[in-house]
Amino acid sequence: MNLRPKIQVNVFLIAIWTMFQTVFHLIGTIYLYLLTTCRVKTTYYDIIFLYFTYFYKSSCGLIDISENAWCFPKNSPWNDSYTDIYNFLNLTMNRAQWPNKSRHAVRSELHLILFLVVDGAWFVGALLLAGGSWWRPKNFTQLVFMHGPWLVFSALVISLDVFVSVTYGIDLISIKSYSTWMQFVGVSNYEEFTFFDLKSTSSFLPAFPTVLIILLTSRFFVIWLVNIVCFFTILFMTVPSSVERRSHTALRSVQGGGRLSREFSTSETRIRNWQLFYGAVEASSTMTSLENTPSDCNDNLTPIKSKITKDVSCT
């Protein structure tokens, strides 16, 4: 049975929504991955702050820092606070003893690769889902082919978002000030910069890179929730439709080659067979009792015996 027109529209919209968000998520993921491979460089100090936290490699060479921010421009209400980030990075880039790479660079690069693979597969699944809403699957196999990949990769994306976000969320336990942030990334002489901990922004700004990447990996949480709703929407559309399709197929096979077996499974047939069986048993017992009666009575009962014999033979 084909999906109803209203359901087809919903499936198509969910497919478009998947492709739309996946494109933007892939753009951000590719950009961060290019940062880790030294293919691109940035001068925005807030992105550099994120880069030093999770993607820094000394092999990428020197980094030029400007007073411009990508997330928080100069005219933003947080301009005074985020100036502390610029001053902190500008000083530590020149005086801190940085490791060859951030302690968490390998983990972050692995997460980015996983996102690239899963998001790419999810986009392909969304194309199949959109095609299914347009061409209308005619049987169970087509329905699984059109909807199955999207459901599988949606589950993977949702699970990966949770896993990666929780992983970065645990990092917040270790980052409580500027000096603890330097410990976190692997700066050996972090004690020389403890005076930054006296600033009012020390209690929250060092956690900015972690919070930013949590928002990105969790798709700002709201998008993640919408994805869960879309997943169960497609699931509840697909499972009943597939069950209905399989039941129709089974019914046609019974009608085509097993009509007799289907007839014997009905209640009416069972009752009729029961009546015929027990009616025959009752008639046989009656015949036996008649044969055991005295001979003078048998003559009077001959018409009755003939009738019973006739009924039994008919049965």
Decide if pLDDT at 311 tops 60: no
**What values do phi and psi take at 81, rounded to 5?**
-70, -45
Domain boundaries, the chain: 5-252, 266-314
Decide if pLDDT at 224 tops 80: yes
Q: What percent of the chain has pLDDT over 90?
A: 52
Q: What is the structure's pLDDT at 259?
A: 45
Q: What is the structure's pLDDT at 137?
A: 73
Whole-number mean pLDDT of the chain? Answer: 81
Q: What is the structure's pLDDT at 74?
A: 63
Q: Are 103 and 187 in contact (CB under 8 A)?
A: no
> Which of 86-90, 165-169, 227-231 is least confident?
86-90
Residues 106-125, mean pLDDT to the nearest whole number: 97
Which of 159-163, 284-288, 303-307 has the highest mean predicted lDDT (pLDDT)? 159-163
Residues 234-245, mean pLDDT to the nearest whole number: 68
Taking the model in full, what pTM does it have? 0.73
Q: What is the structure's pLDDT at 3?
A: 53
> Which of 84-88, 236-240, 250-254, 270-274 is least confident?
250-254
Please, what's the largest Cα pairwise distance for the chain?
A: 132
Q: What is the structure's pLDDT at 281?
A: 47
Decide if pLDDT at 262 tops 50: no
Name every residue whose Cβ is closer than 8 Å to that of residue 11 and which is 6 or more positions away in sequence.
3, 129, 130, 132, 133, 147, 234, 237
Q: Are 227 and 20 in contact (CB under 8 A)?
A: no
Decide if pLDDT at 203 tops 70: yes
Q: Are 41 and 63 in contact (CB under 8 A)?
A: yes
